[in-house]
Structure 1
Amino acid sequence: MSSSMFNNHSISISVSDEESDELGRMRVRVRRKRKKQYGHRVKNELSQLVLRFLLKYWMVFIFLPAAGLLVFEASRIGKEPSLDVELERDVKKTPDLKHNQTVGELKKKMEDNLDRLDPPRCLKLLPPEELQHLEIPMHDESNLVKNVVYISEKDAQHEEGNSTISKLSTEFTRFNLFTGYQTLDQRESSFKVSETAQIHCGFYSENGGFKISSEDKIYMQACKVVVSTCAFGGGDDLYQPIGMLHASLKRVCYVAFWDEITVAAQEFKGRRIGEDYFIGKWRIVVVRDLPFTDQRLNGKIPKMLGHRLFPHAKYSIWVDSKSQFRRDPLGVLEALLWRSNSVLAISQHGARSNVYEEATAVVKKHKATPEEVEVQLTQYRQDGLPEDKRFNGKKALNEASVIVREHTPLTNLFVCLWFNEVVRFTSRDQLSFPYVLWRLKLLKGINMFPVCIRKDLVNSMGHIRKAKPLIN
């Protein structure tokens, strides 16, 4: 009975197969979610534990490497010092040793090159058989300038009545009794080209200096073609020219201008002037009473005023004293002047082409003071010198270690103007060269040859003195 009652009051719940599967999946999902949350909580707790550990002991982690480094350095100091001392001594000796080795190697290489004539790369000379019979041309004089009259002390007194006026107006310049006292008005009028030009051009007075013996003057007056150089103040060694033909030796004068200091310095090195006034192929002309205290200005006299020193010469080639002339001079004249119908040939500047850029480089290299350069550039700007990098399509900034020219009234006027600009402003003739070209509009008769031709013409020796230690 009891069992029947129980059965009667029981409630039956039917469960389908689908519901049982759904409930199972729910249990699985819940179980998996709980496991995921538990793992994430463990990771968070671990990261927090590591962070608290680092915050607590961060000073230890900084101190330990520092202490290790200190111990390492202390162990090095405690070593026997002899090895380190010897190493330091070797390092100190190395610069001088390497410097001496470098200079010695360069000198040996230079001496080997003095007698070796490399074939030209850029300069196209005539074959030797043609150079042997080459005639020196005699061109007609320029129709633009027929005559140049050089102002002397007597002329200036006659014109001005009192030369003191001119001296007072130029007391802040480097003009003197050699150059004459050119005023700004005279400077301006000197650029006005006419058939007869009147200009200051050195040798202004007998008391101006640059004295040459009578024997040397007689020799120089007989020269028709000249290769010249100079060394004042005991400067550079004299390098013998090479590459000339025998026919050229008979027709070309090689003249080196020295002062008495250079004579003494070269005699000390064992290079004495012979009884015939020659050292090798060079005729040594000793100059006394140089007119400038600045040796750079004294060097401009034979460099620019060759027509004044050699009054009967038709052509001249100037070579810087740090260079060795290495070609036949008549062949050079034919290649750079006669072939192109030019009157002056000069090397282009290898790095810059603008006078204002060159002025910046001059100041940066301490070749002139900023004040001197600014005075010169201010004058050129006022005169209207353009800032174009080229004139008539040509690069007009020069590198004047080699100057090849015909002595005509026009080129004589040009170099006189150039010389006066160098005396008035800075000794850097690169700054005044483009200006004088521009004022005379002479560029059509100028051969601005590239640097590679200059390297064919001369072997520069100036790098020996500039050699520096490899280790400072």
Structure 2
Amino acid sequence: MFHDHHNNKSVSISVSDDEPDELGKMRVRARRKRKKLSHKRFLRNFLFKYWMLLIIIPAACLLIFEVSAISRKPNPNLKQVNSETITRESRHSLGNEEVHGNLNRLDPTTHVVAGVRERCLKLLPPEKLEQLDIPAEEGSSSPIDKLLYVTSESDTSFLGGNAALSQLRTEGTRFNLFTGNQTFEERDKSFEVKETTTVHCGFYSVNGGFKISDEDKSYMQACKVVVSTCAFGGGDDLYQPIGMSEASLNKVCYVAFWDEITLKAQELVERRVGENGFIGKWRVVVVRDLPFSDQRLNGKIPKMLSHRLFPQAKYSIWVDSKSQFRRDPLGVLEAVLWRPNAVLAISEHGARGSVYDESKAVVRKNKAKPEEVKVQINQYRKDGFPENKRFDGKKALCEASVIVRKHTPLTNRLMCVWFNEVVRFTSRDQLSFPYVLWRLEAFKNINMFPVCTRKDLVNSMGHIRKAKPLQG
């Protein structure tokens, strides 16, 4: 209440509690304005400090999305396998076991070349794959015209079959009736370039082991192109090949070599050979009387001596039992042999390039006995084998889980002398391959393809279980 003293009158002005205080409103507005200015200054300072991150992070996320999309993109050059077929083949391949994550994958493997992402294995499109055929034989310029194999039908100075164990204990050698007793002088001669060359190459005697039924032999002799694998000692399962064209299905043999140990192991998981000798697309050939106690050595026979097992075949593709072959065989031949004009294609080693470095890794990882590796490496040094990691610009150390080759006298001789090296020294074939290439100076037209190409050729599963040795 205010009093007017001049008029001596009292004027009453009431202030209602419901009306806002003007001064309070001004203070609220001021606080809001300061807060708003503070937010603006914070945003401005943040953008000034971190503007590069705001650009880089979305760009990186976009790049990751694009790369993953490319890897998931279906390959237009491959025939798609429907889910029913994959499920059926998966069950057929693995029985009641859980399907491996890599099984039946057909997606391409890619790498970046000059800033552009490309497929590692450049196959022809599907319509051209269906038109592929085995090329007609042409005149050869090979320095070797004829290859002869050392054989004996009567020599009994070496023990064959599982009895090789006793010979190994008494004489310290792995040569037997299957291999013949190659001397060091004969070893040196096997590397010489002659029009007609004689070489030890397994199957020395009919009593030397690796026995195959006449029915299986008849089937194998009719093969012109073959994809082969083996599982001795029950160490691996059998994976059905995928990604084939109809042309390849009609022209290519698929042969898997088993011993009786593997046969029994597979029957235990309900995986049995049919009356026609097949499991899926594989013709299963059961081998009896294996010549070596070391199952790794027995596995080198179908791996390296396919020209002896398939005498009429013109081409062969070897696939380790730990892998699933997932490409069209004729398409692979065209891509890695015919197109680059090569007679042998094999994958480069992914980790090392020197035999001497590899020998240390083999010992360190307990892949072979140190004394055996020492004998082999000392012999290679004595022979003058260089420290070079490359021959003719190519990485010589190989990862030999996939071997693609044309059967010629030159490639057959290479596989023979390579086989003899793993019998003489260690079964680690990476150690002897560069040495063999070095000794065979005439061998030039070889395709050492990169690791990513090998990964495109197969789905890798790894070994399932340890292989059981033969009992002597």
Whether the TM-score (by the shorter chain) exceeds 0.5 is yes
Is 2:360 the partner of 1:370?
Answer: no
| Cα deviation, residue 153, structure 1 | 1.4
Is 2:107 the partner of 1:118?
Answer: yes
In the alignment, what sits opposite 1:266?
266
**Is the CA contact 1:142–1:409 (under 8 Å) kept in the aligned structure 2?**
no
Structure 1 segment 14-413 matched on structure 2, within 5 A: 110-111=100-101, 113-121=102-110, 122-137=120-135, 138-154=137-153, 171-413=171-413
SS at match of 2:345: strand
Q: Which of structures 1 and 2 has the bigger CA Rg?
A: 1
- Deviating above 3 A after TM superposition, structure 1's stretches of 4 or more consecutive aligned residues are 463-466
Paired AA for residue 110 in structure 1: H
User: Cα–Cα, structure 1 residues 220 and 392, in superposed 2: closer, same or farther, change >3 Å?
Assistant: same
User: Cα–Cα, structure 1 residues 464 and 417, in superposed 2: closer, same or farther, change >3 Å?
Assistant: closer
User: Cα–Cα, structure 1 residues 116 and 190, in superposed 2: closer, same or farther, change >3 Å?
Assistant: closer
**Is the CA contact 1:200–1:420 (under 8 Å) kept in the aligned structure 2?**
yes
User: Cα–Cα, structure 1 residues 302 and 464, in superposed 2: closer, same or farther, change >3 Å?
Assistant: closer
| Cα deviation, residue 163, structure 1 | 6.1
**Is the CA contact 1:142–1:408 (under 8 Å) kept in the aligned structure 2?**
no
**Is the CA contact 2:132–2:247 (under 8 Å) kept in the aligned structure 1?**
no
Distance 1:349 1:285 in 2: 30
**Is the CA contact 1:347–1:448 (under 8 Å) kept in the aligned structure 2?**
yes
In the alignment, what sits opposite 1:52?
none
| Cα deviation, residue 118, structure 1 | 0.8
> Greater shift after overlay, 440-449 or 121-130?
440-449
**Is the CA contact 1:337–1:447 (under 8 Å) kept in the aligned structure 2?**
yes
SS at match of 1:153: coil
**Is the CA contact 1:348–1:451 (under 8 Å) kept in the aligned structure 2?**
yes
| Cα deviation, residue 392, structure 1 | 1.3
Paired AA for residue 114 in structure 1: L
Distance 2:264 2:224 in 1: 30
Q: Could you say what the CA RMSD is over the residues aligned between the two structures, in angstroms?
A: 2.1
**Is the CA contact 1:230–1:256 (under 8 Å) kept in the aligned structure 2?**
yes
Paired AA for residue 141 in structure 1: S
**Is the CA contact 1:229–1:321 (under 8 Å) kept in the aligned structure 2?**
yes
Q: Name stretches of at least 5 consecutive residues in structure 1 with no aligned partner.
A: 1-106, 467-472
**Is the CA contact 1:180–1:204 (under 8 Å) kept in the aligned structure 2?**
yes
In the alignment, what sits opposite 2:11?
none
Q: Name stretches of at least 5 consecutive residues in structure 2 with no aligned partner.
A: 1-96, 111-119, 159-163, 467-472
**Is the CA contact 1:141–1:409 (under 8 Å) kept in the aligned structure 2?**
no
User: Cα–Cα, structure 1 residues 180 and 142, in superposed 2: closer, same or farther, change >3 Å?
Assistant: farther
User: Cα–Cα, structure 1 residues 154 and 215, in superposed 2: closer, same or farther, change >3 Å?
Assistant: closer
SS at match of 1:432: helix
Paired AA for residue 129 in structure 1: E
**Is the CA contact 1:148–1:196 (under 8 Å) kept in the aligned structure 2?**
yes
Distance 2:157 2:266 in 1: 41
**Is the CA contact 1:346–1:402 (under 8 Å) kept in the aligned structure 2?**
yes
In the alignment, what sits opposite 2:453?
453
**Is the CA contact 1:141–1:408 (under 8 Å) kept in the aligned structure 2?**
no
Task: State percent identity of aligned pairs.
Answer: 73
Distance 1:425 1:141 in 2: 33
* Per-residue CA distance 1:322-345 (angstroms, 9 max, x = gap): 000000000000000000000000
In the alignment, what sits opposite 1:421?
421
Q: TM-score normalised to the size of structure 1?
A: 0.72
